[in-house]
Structure 1
Amino acid sequence: MQLKLKILWICCMLVGVTNAQEILSKQEAIKETLENNFGIEIANNDLEIAENNQDILNSGFLPSLTGIAGANYNIEDQEVTFNNGETNVVDGAETTQYNASLNLNYTLFDGLGRWYNYKSLKEAYDLGELQARQTIETTILQLFSVYYEVARITENIEVLEQTFENTKRRLTRAGYSFEYGQVNKLEVLNAEVDIVTDSINLLNARQQLRSTKRDLTVVLNSDLQRNFEVDTTVTFIGELQLEEFVQKSDTANVRLLQARKNIRIADYDYKASKSVYLPSVGLTGSYGWNEGQFPVTSFASSRTTTGFAAGVSLTWNLFDGGSGITTVKNLRIQKDSQQLLLQQIENEVKRDVANAHDVYQNRLEVYRLQEQNVVTASNNYDRSQERYKLGQITSVELRQAQINLLNAKTNKNLAKYEAKLAELELLQLTGQLLNVDF
């Protein structure tokens, strides 16, 4: 009776409540990440700033228009002596003046500095797009590292549940056999120890699954208490297509694209700095209105003027103390440094792609071997069960076969998801991560 109560208690603890759970597909996970992830939102904000910076409003090609208005009031004692010797004295002479004008300034030529600055801002926007893409790729990799961990633990739980059910049936059979005197108490005790071990493993796996799901909700920026299941289906890209991606990595890798974009920006900055050697030509224009009321000591009691004014100016900074020349030299050196950095990144990317490809092929082969190992371990466990029923092996030997099958299945699950993550890392390095179906 105590044995049956113990089995009932363990079963009650491990039976999960069957609720309809949301299936979080890979496509839905990607969609939620792109919409809600904090890092991607920040990257999009930075890209929006870069877009504003490369607009014509920030180029320096548009003129400036300034409105000016003013009023002046003076009261003073005046004594005026005219040419004929007469003197006129006025106490509290009042003078009021009003003015308003619109002033236009436009740089016709500045040594091509603003032209190259504008092109540099365009390149900076493209660089911002590449940086946003890199953030998205990194976040997608982070997403799937957690997503596939949830999938792995989910499949492991299924294996542990099968193991637990097999042990539970063995314990029941051992209990009946002991009651009829067919086996000794040791068989029952071994089964009880094993079912407690399986129970602990299953409880720990379920707790690990809950924690990992919370990690996934953080990447998704969704509710921590969200209840969902993930898709455990894994498909691999064909080797021919993967080889094609590897061959194109030098033109699609995001680090290489950023390095080449930085070279173009450095080149435009260098060309813009050389505008210090050339003159600048500016155009000015204004329309103004002035009105004044003057005391009797003035030749006119009031005056109103309106009119246009325009002018052209040429400014040539012949020598600025050498700071301009120094800036040009430094920017040329920075441009050369960017070229050297590109060569370094090219070597690193080639190495990383080769290593990632090798790791992927190795993990894929390990996965295939683990699949075969599961078949072997399953056959071994089935035969061990038959031999155990016939009394040809002990419960310890049966348990070892059961553990071997459990390890083979969990190792296969691990190998499967490690191979898929290696494939995703290779796709990122080749610049194709966002161009494939998951």
Structure 2
Amino acid sequence: MKKALIIILTCTAGRAFAQSAPGELKNLVQQSFSHFTQIKAMETQQRIAADQTTLAKTSRLPEVSGTANYSHVYPVPKVQLPGSDFTFQPVPSENINAGIEARQLLLDFGKSGSQIKKSEAQAGLLGVQTAEAREELAYQVANVYLNIAFLQDNIAVQDANIHLLEETETMVENKLKHGDAIDLDLINTRVKLESYRNKKVDFTNSLQKQLAALEYLTGEPLKDSVHSDFAWAIPPAEDFGHNAAIRTSLEKEKVAETGIGIAKAQYKPALFLNAGTGFKNGYLPEITTPKFNYYAGVSLSVPIYNGKKLRTQEHIAATEAEIAKLHTQDVKESLKKEAAQQHADLSAGLERLQTAEVLLQQANRALTLAQSRYKNGVITYLDLQNAQTSLLEAQLSKIQYQYQLSLAGLELMHLSGQEFWKQ
């Protein structure tokens, strides 16, 4: 009997020595980063974003192309000179042109620069979004880890109470043999024992589901049992400087701002250098003989009228930037609300846990007294059963409060953007 009580006390004892996140949890998080498909997909998108930035920069590089064409023209103009057999033909009927053409941007007053800035901002946004996805995954793994740890605690408590009730069953059977108990006492004991066993089956079923979820996230089955004897380092209130959602929202603001720059740059002219060289026929006096030729010059493109298209684009870009800023403000206010709620849960949970510890001590003492008095025939079986039920409720309540405190602490760490797997 004392051994069973020791097991119960061990399983439900307060966590006096707070520890950082266990190394096993950190390893599981790192495994999830290399396994989870969504993270792999976002990392691939990052490489595409880098290529898109490189592509945007190529607008400043020269474009060189080779051309070759042939055409037959009929009829062609011919002039018969009076009093002569000579026929003047200014255009050949067989036209040949082969050469190389080049085009180089000289000056566009920020057009290409705006496109490059937008590509870089989009690549930066994708990088932050990937980091946010990793963080979400890490805290998802931590949440499942906590579920497993506290389910194992519940199962351990249930096992200890089953063992305790089995000893009670033996004690009632002995008293029944000596006429100090009735059949109803034994039946009630066995009914409660089966109820405890069924509850253990429920806990075990939930545990198997959480183990399957952890394997889905990390790609590997859990090898060892986990422990809940650690506590999170709770951050101060409203410490959101490293929150992933805020960082993502700020990056979206940058992308929106680059959109305004692109829209404004469309009003500006662009200056190009054009050049080419090759062989071509059609030159007098030997119009059928291809000759070497070249050309070079500049061209200037100036927007004059576009039917309010550019002005509308600029207005849309400015509106999108305003929406991005409002979204950032909404994220900050939402985080502030969630943090306040979690701190309230944390404060209430600590008070509940203190009360639960007192109730657990009293329930243990009451059960010890009830067992002694029942053996001596001072109290009824119903009194003993009530003491056992009170102990189980106190044990499970304490585990539940500890679990709620851990969840609140974990969520506060998530809101502050702490990377516990790197600490």
Q: Please classify the TM superposition score into its range, dividing by the shorter chain length.
A: 0.7 to 0.9
The aligned amino acid for 1:46 is Q
The count of aligned residue pairs is 398
1:78 & 1:271 partners in 2: Cα distance? Answer: 53
CA distance in 2 between partners of 1:80 and 1:310 (Å): 32
Q: 1:38-437 counterparts in 2 under 5 A?
A: 38-55=37-54, 58=57, 60-72=59-71, 74=72, 82-86=80-84, 98-222=96-220, 226=221, 228-238=223-233, 242-243=235-236, 246=237, 248-249=239-240, 251-290=241-280, 300=286, 303-434=289-420, 437=423
Distance 1:88 1:77 in 2: 18
Task: Give the whole-Å Cα distance in 2 for the aligned partners of 1:88 and 1:35.
Answer: 84
Cα distance change on mapping 1:177 and 1:79 into 2, 3 Å: closer
Alpha carbons of 1:247 and 1:435: their partners in 2 closer, same or farther (altered >3 Å)? farther
Q: Deviations over 1:241-261 (max 9, x none)?
A: x22xx4542x32223223332
Residues 355, 206 of structure 1: alpha-carbon distance in 2 compared, 3 angstrom cutoff: closer
Measure the CA separation in 2 of the matches of 1:79 and 1:314. 35
Q: Matched residues, percent identical?
A: 19
User: Unaligned regions of 5+ residues in structure 2, if any?
Assistant: 1-21
What's the counterpart of residue 9 of structure 2? none
CA contact (8 A) 1:373 1:408 kept: yes
**Residues 118 and 199 of structure 1, relative CA distance in 2, 3 Å threshold:** same
Question: What residue identity is the alignment partner of 2:341?
Answer: N
Deviations 1:364-422 (A, max 9, x none): 44334333433332222222222222222222222222222222222222222221121
Alpha-carbon spacing, 1:422–1:100, altered in 2? closer, same or farther (3 Å): farther
Residue-by-residue CA offset, 1:108-152 (whole Å, 9 max, x unaligned): 222312212211222222211222222222222322222221222
Structure 2 counterpart of 1:36: 35
Deviation per residue, 1:221-251 (Å, 9 max, x gap): 45xxx46444123422455xx22xx4542x3
Normalising to structure 2: TM-score of the pair?
Answer: 0.82
TM-score by length of 1: 0.80
Relative to total residues, which structure has the larger strand share, 1 or 2?
Answer: 1
Structure 1, unmatched stretches of 5+, are 1-22
Q: State the Cα RMSD in Å.
A: 3.2
Q: CA deviation at 1:26?
A: 0.9
Superposed structure 1 runs of 4+ greater than 6 Å apart: 75-79
Structure 2 vs 1, CA of residues 125 and 230 (structure 1 numbering), >3 Å: closer, same or farther? Answer: farther
Deviates more, 1:311-320 or 1:267-276: 267-276
Distance 1:276 1:235, change over 3 A: same
Report the Cα offset of residue 37 of structure 1. 1.8
SS in 2 for 1:55: helix
